[in-house]
Chain A
Amino acid sequence: EAQVTQNPRYLITVTGKKLTVTCSQNMNHEYMSWYRQDPGLGLRQIYYSMNVEVTDKGDVPEGYKVSRKEKRNFPLILESPSPNQTSLYFCASSLSPGQGKAFFGQGTRLTVV
C-alpha cells in the first residue's frame, strides 16, 4: 500500500531537548516536504527536498533542520525545541517537484513545554 509514515504520532517534550520526527515513503517519490499546521494559520511549508542530498528552506524553516540521505526518508530535526514549535506536523511526498498530487503522512502532534 502506498503510504507516508511518520513517527511518532504524539510527542511531549521539554524545551531544549533535541528530537527527530521520522518520515518514510514507499513510493520512490523524488519530492518530499514538511508542513506545520497551526490554528488560524493553515499549513505552512517548513523544508522541502527535490531529491537525495537536495534540500531547501520553505516558508518557516527557523528552528528546524532536515536531511535526505536516502530517497525514502526525510527526517525533521528540532535541535533545541521551543514552545512556539508546538504544532501539528505533516510530511508529504510526491512523484516529482512539479507534481501537485501529494501523499501526506498521518501527522505528528508535538507539544513543547
Chain B
Amino acid sequence: DAKTTQPTSMDCAEGRAANLPCNHSTISGNEYVYWYRQIHSQGPQYIIHGLKNNETNEMASLIITEDRKSSTLILPHATLRDTAVYYCIVRLHSGNTPLVFGKGTRLSVIA
C-alpha cells in the first residue's frame, strides 16, 4: 500500500518557488517525513526530513501540517538544475526500515 501520494508532475518557472505537495494521511505518530530527489538516473539525493515541526536547510524548507497528514517541500528559488523526480517518504527511525520510493513528482523547471 502506498504510504504517500504525490502529483505525477509539476512545472515551475526558473527563479520562482517550487512547492511540492505530499499526502500521507495514514502516517503514524513516530514516522518521519523524508524528501529525496533523483536527477536523471543519478543516485537519489537526500534533501530534508522532519517529524512535526517545519524544517529548513540550505536546500529547501519542509512544511508539515499540524495534523501531519500532509507536507510541502519548498525550493525557494528553483533553478534548471532542480529539474528532477522528487520523492516523499515516510519511515520509522528504527531497524532496517528501507526507504520506500514511490513514483514521486517529476518537477520541470522552465527557463
Interface residues of chain A, those whose CB is within 8 Å of chain B, are 4, 31, 33, 42-43, 45, 48, 50, 56, 58-59, 88, 90, 92, 97-107, 109
The answer to whether A106 touches B93, judged by C-beta atoms less than 8 angstroms apart, is no
A interface, over-half SS: strand
**What residues of B have a CB within 8 angstroms of the CB of A88 in the complex?**
41
Partner of A4, one of B43, B98, B101: B43
Known: A4-B43, A42-B102, A106-B43. A100 touches B96 (CB 8 A): no
Known: A88-B41, A90-B43, A103-B46. A97 touches B95 (CB 8 A): yes
Known: A58-B98, A100-B49. A107 touches B103 (CB 8 A): no
The answer to whether B42 touches A98, judged by C-beta atoms less than 8 angstroms apart, is no
The chain B residue sitting closest to A50, CB to CB, is B96
Partner of A101, one of B43, B49, B96: B49
Q: Would you give the shortest CB distance from B1 to chain A, in whole angstroms?
A: 14
5 residue pairs from A and B, CB less than 8 Å apart = A90-B43, A100-B49, A101-B49, A102-B46, A107-B41
The answer to whether A98 touches B94, judged by C-beta atoms less than 8 angstroms apart, is yes
Q: Would you give the shortest CB distance from A12 to chain B, in whole angstroms?
A: 16
**What residues of B have a CB within 8 angstroms of the CB of A45 in the complex?**
98-99
The chain B residue sitting closest to A59, CB to CB, is B98
Partner of A42, one of B91, B93, B95, B103: B103
Q: How far is the CA of A105 from the CA of B49 in the complex (A)?
A: 20
**What residues of A have a CB within 8 angstroms of the CB of B49 in the complex?**
100-101
Q: How far is the CA of A43 from the CA of B104 in the complex (A)?
A: 11
Q: Would you give the shortest CB distance from A45 to chain B, in whole angstroms?
A: 4
**In this complex, which of B32, B34, B96, B97 has the most chain A Cβ atoms within 10 angstroms of its Cβ?**
B96
Q: A97-B95, A100-B49 are in contact. List 5 more A-B contacts (CB 8 A).
A: A33-B98, A97-B97, A99-B93, A101-B46, A104-B44
